[in-house]
Amino acid sequence: MREVLSIPAGKTIKNIKGYGIHAFPYPRNTTYDQSQYIAFRAEKGGKMDMLYSVTNEVVLNPSDKNLECKLHHLDDDSKDRILRYINARKTTKFGFEKKNHTYKFFVLKEEQSLPHEPRPQGRNTAGHTYYTYEEITCGKDEVIVQSKL
Distance between start and end Cα atoms, the chain:
17
Q: Is pLDDT at 135 greater than 90 in this prediction? A: yes
Is pTM beyond 0.85 here? Answer: yes
- The pLDDT assigned to 94 comes to 78
pLDDT digits (tens, 9 = 90+) for 10-36: 888 999 999 999 999 999 888 899 999
pLDDT digits (tens, 9 = 90+) for 44-73: 899 999 999 999 999 999 999 899 999 999
pLDDT digits (tens, 9 = 90+) for 71-129: 999 999 999 999 999 999 988 887 887 778 999 999 999 999 999 999 999 888 889 99
- The pLDDT assigned to 92 comes to 84
- The pLDDT assigned to 51 comes to 99
